[in-house]
Structure 1
């Protein structure tokens, strides 16, 4: 079962005098983390189908950059003097990709992408994402 855009509503809370907002926030996060761990939940990330058209002279740099972005290269073929790189990559790794591709290819490459599916994150990447969102 997938949970998307989970919202939690607290209907009643009784606090002692002098209880800070940060203590309440930390307690809520701990409770939610425990609920999701016991439910054996997992974080899913959007995966994008990505097609990059790049001059052959710049293709090695672009391919290396895609590997660094956790892209799974499916196919590379030639179209005229260009390489067409077809891959699947996490959307989170493609933020700012337009500028990066422009720099890597001296402005000669182009790309298109579309949502392909959602995939379970690796435990390491899930931990990094949760730490980024929650701060711990």
Structure 2
């Protein structure tokens, strides 16, 4: 499939392809839905390649909205040496107001997670601290609501215990994984969705219809600019509401509307939308 897409992209400068690392999808861009349908048909006819096509998956994420303390003791005994790992930590929404370069020495912030080592007196030996952090990071790969990756967490490891014989890196890693899942469930988890900064340019007579349509898409209008004989609407709209928008815009504007969009930020989804997302993932 990759070879077929690259050949078609070489022939058509308006056709682009990319791979989404978060969803694993191959994403294709073109001049409109009809253009993309023709591309898919050519793949089948000229290269004998069939592809399952559909709307791109939205790269939702999960986070927490409050603080929670949690304790988990992982103990396993089945003859011979057992497994023992015991952690206590506090999870909080990550505060980005403190720059990375100003963080204390016991704090590490990487890829949307800040890990604080507040262990005192060796209640957890230093050799097991990296295993705790690794367990937290692995648990964050699958959120508790819909299985999307978790981001923007601060984890403050402040207590625990170990066993001279039975403690191991894997025991502390598993203890941290179970603890993170429990903490996330207690800390009011929410789903985040990508929001796009959109500019829509239309003749003035269509302004009312377009602004109403933006509102129906949970959009936030930031302003309207005059540009010669047209109006440009600046707004923020969830990515999930933008699929197929070019076709509907052309329909509403007699083919005279245009738009551009770029990623703006992640926002918490409304509860009714979150319920639908969770239901679809079950």
TM-score by length of 2: 0.36
CA–CA separation in structure 2 for the residues paired with 1:47 and 1:91: 6
Higher relative CO (Cα under 8 Å, sequence separation at least 6) belongs to 1
Residue number in structure 1 paired with 2:258: 110
Q: CA deviation at 1:90?
A: 0.4
Residue from 101, 105, 113 that aligns with 2:249 = 101
Residues 59-98 of structure 1 correspond to what in structure 2 (within 5 A)? 59-98=207-246
Where 1:108 maps in the other structure, the secondary structure is coil
Please give the root-mean-square deviation of Cα atoms over the aligned residues, in Å: 2.4
Query: Stretches of 4+ moved more than 4 A in 1?
Result: none
CA–CA separation in structure 2 for the residues paired with 1:39 and 1:6: 17
Number of residues paired by the alignment?
Answer: 110
Q: CA deviation at 1:37?
A: 2.9
CA–CA separation in structure 1 for the residues paired with 2:216 and 2:185: 30
Deviations 1:78-134 (A, max 9, x none): 111101000001000111111110111111010000000001112222112212232
- Greater CA radius of gyration, 1 or 2? 2
Residue number in structure 2 paired with 1:24: none
Deviations 1:50-98 (A, max 9, x none): 0000001111111111110010000012111101000001000111111
Residue number in structure 1 paired with 2:267: 119
Higher normalized helix content (fraction of residues): 1
Residue number in structure 1 paired with 2:24: none
Residue number in structure 2 paired with 1:17: none
Gaps of 5+ in 2: 1-93, 95-111, 114-139, 144-180
Residue number in structure 2 paired with 1:53: 201
